[in-house]
Amino acid sequence: MTGEPSQAGTASVDATPPPPPEGMYPPYPPYPGYPPHRPDRLTRIVTRIHARTPRWLAPLAVFGCVSAAAGYVLWADPAAADANAQPTCIVKYLTGFDCPGCGGTRAVWYMMHGDIPAAARHHAVLLFAVPFVAYLYVAWAGRAMFGWQLPRWEPSSRALIWFLAAWGVFSVARNLPWEPFTWFFV
């Protein structure tokens, strides 16, 4: 014996397996670091229902809800309320201030009757937003129900911030008791 370890019958410990032949996958998938997450029972039920639901059902449900709300507004006639009646809005009842959505129902009633100046007097920001929201709905519903591809309009973050800022300024301005702002008080 010369003091050298015997090489016969031993394999190198650091040897890597040979790569698979061209176009073949390794014989086993890579082992994931963690076992896959199994969703809870409610998530599985909702996912199963979502997979079985027709694509046209959601736009039709939204249309039905908006139509029912429009029918209620036409039937209730919010513009004919008595001037001395108690306010139905909880924010106005508790604080005496007009909330950011105050006048929206009356503005919708006036829009449905074609009186745009009166609609603007009750809620100018809503009047401005209605065409944009209507276009977004038509684009979404058309894509989901019929496969239409209307030009996509995705408002930028800057535009949304400006819109929300304008709505905030409008909400504050309509509660100011001075002369140019009393026009917004409804």
pTM: 0.64
Average pLDDT on 151-168 reads 89
pLDDT of residue 133: 92
DSSP 8-state secondary structure symbol assigned to residue 88: S
pLDDT of residue 92: 73
- What percentage of the chain's residues is helix, strand, coil (to nearest 5)? 55, 0, 45
| Terminal CA-CA length for the chain | 107
**Which range, 55-59, 86-90, 176-180, is most confident?**
55-59
Question: Is residue 161's pLDDT more than 80?
Answer: yes
Question: Is residue 10's pLDDT more than 60?
Answer: no
* Cα–Cα distance, 152 to 113 (Å, whole number): 30
Q: What percent of the chain has pLDDT over 90?
A: 28
Residue 99's SS3 state is coil
Instruction: Convert the pLDDT of each residue in 86-106 to its tens digit.
Output: 556 667 777 877 777 888 888
Instruction: Convert the pLDDT of each residue in 108-147 to its tens digit.
Output: 999 999 999 999 888 888 999 999 999 999 999 999 999 8
Mean pLDDT of the chain, nearest integer: 81
